[in-house]
Structure formats: structure tokens, C-alpha cells
Structure 1
């Protein structure tokens, strides 16, 4: 019986957290809802990148990080490559981002806002 208060003490914080972490939930301080790609999240965006990216342009292994803004109308703007290892891969990444369909913009207080997304890609040596 002495364990019951301890168990409740441990489980109550978990229950509170599970209510905050939903996909369409409003977040603390931010009442911010993240941008969505094709009705989903970053996984759907990753699928798009993998489908559209021409991997024959990759000449060696390395890491590349691209950044872009999802504007209030959902369009992809301000594309830039923050980190890259060869020009061909970076150029291909920019080409794919320019081809990207509109996102559902992020929202704060129910109003669309623009956000910057940083997206890393790691290329491994082919066998």
C-alpha cells in the first residue's frame, strides 16, 4: 500500500506529457503547430527527397545540410546550403527543393507563420 502514492507520483507526470505531445496539439509557450508536408511531417518530406534526388550526382561520401523557409503561403523559399562536400550534390539538392510542392505552413495562435527548416543528408560510400 505504501507503493501506491509513489506509483501515482511517478505516473502523473507521464500522463501530463502524453497530452502535450500529440501531432496536432498546441505546444507550450508557443501554441505553435509545425509545418506539414503532404499532410504529414518530416518523414513524408524525406520520402519526397529520396524519390526526386538523383543520387548519380553524388561523387563521394559526406554530409550536406540544406536550409529553407516554409513561407506563410506554404511555398519553399530562401534555399541555401549550409554545409556541403561537393558542388554537384549541393546543386542537385537545390534543384529538388525548387521542385518541392507547397507545405501546410506552421501556425502560431492559429495564424500562419514562416519557419526555417534545416535538413541534413548523409551520403555513404557505395560498395
Structure 2
């Protein structure tokens, strides 16, 4: 009986290890989520766009403004909303900039385009 347990142990360990590796390979080969891209880059390219287009003179006080928007399956910016209001002028400016935003390359899951929501905070500090 002891020999049977030892043989069974040596047989099951390689099988369990193989199944874990196979599962990890399947996860990556199936093509899990690929993030949306803005102008061929990531969120950094989007930040550059915001910095260039946003009129900072509209911001009247320090604090955080947070907006949320959806990148649909075609790469359009839709469902724009402000989730944390700093003041009306800066919120309006943020919406204006997002409305003029060019198309994104949509996110993909398993090779198919999907829509995703992005939350984007902007922190404004007091001028010295």
C-alpha cells in the first residue's frame, strides 16, 4: 500500500504541473484583454492630447476633476460624464476636449473589439 501511494504521488505531480502550465499558455494564447490605444500609444499619448487641448485658464481652484468615458467597439469616445466635479467651468472644458478627441484603436478581447470605460482624473494644484 505504501508503494502504491508513492507511485501514485510520482504520477500525479507531473500531471498537475503540466496542467498548470497548459492553463497558463491557454490564457495568453486566447488573447486576453488588449487595452485601447490612442494615436498609436497608450494613456501617455492621451495625456499629451489633453495637455495640448485643455484650456487651463478655465480652472478656478485647486482640486481633482474626474471624468469617465467609453471607448466603443469602433474607437469613438462616447458616454462622457463627470464623476467628480471641481467646478462647472473646468468640467465643461473637459467635456469639450473629449468631444473633439480623435478615434481610438478599440480594446480587444480574444481578437474582437470591445467597448471599455476609462476613468480619467485631473489634479490641479494652486499657483504659487
RMSD of aligned alpha carbons: 1.7
1:6-45 residue pairs with structure 2 within 5 A?
A: 31-45=32-46
CA distance in 2, matches of 1:66, 1:50: 15
Q: Does structure 1 retain, via aligned residues, the 8 Å contact 2:36–2:42?
A: yes
2:49 corresponds to 1:48? yes
SS of the residue corresponding to residue 107 of structure 1 reads strand
**Normalising by structure 1, what TM-score?**
0.77
**Normalising by structure 2, what TM-score?**
0.76
The residue aligned with 1:102 is 103
Query: In the TM superposition, what whole-angstrom CA distance separates every residue of 1:86-123 from its partner, at most 9, and x where no partner exists?
Result: 00000000000000000000000100000000000000
The residue aligned with 1:91 is 92
Q: Give structure 1 regions of 4+ aligned residues with deviation exceeding 4 angstroms.
A: 26-30
Q: CA deviation at 1:30?
A: 6.7
Instruction: List gaps (5 residues or longer) in structure 2.
Output: 1-26
Q: CA deviation at 1:29?
A: 8.3
Instruction: List gaps (5 residues or longer) in structure 1.
Output: 1-25
Q: CA deviation at 1:28?
A: 8.9
Structure of greater Rg: 2
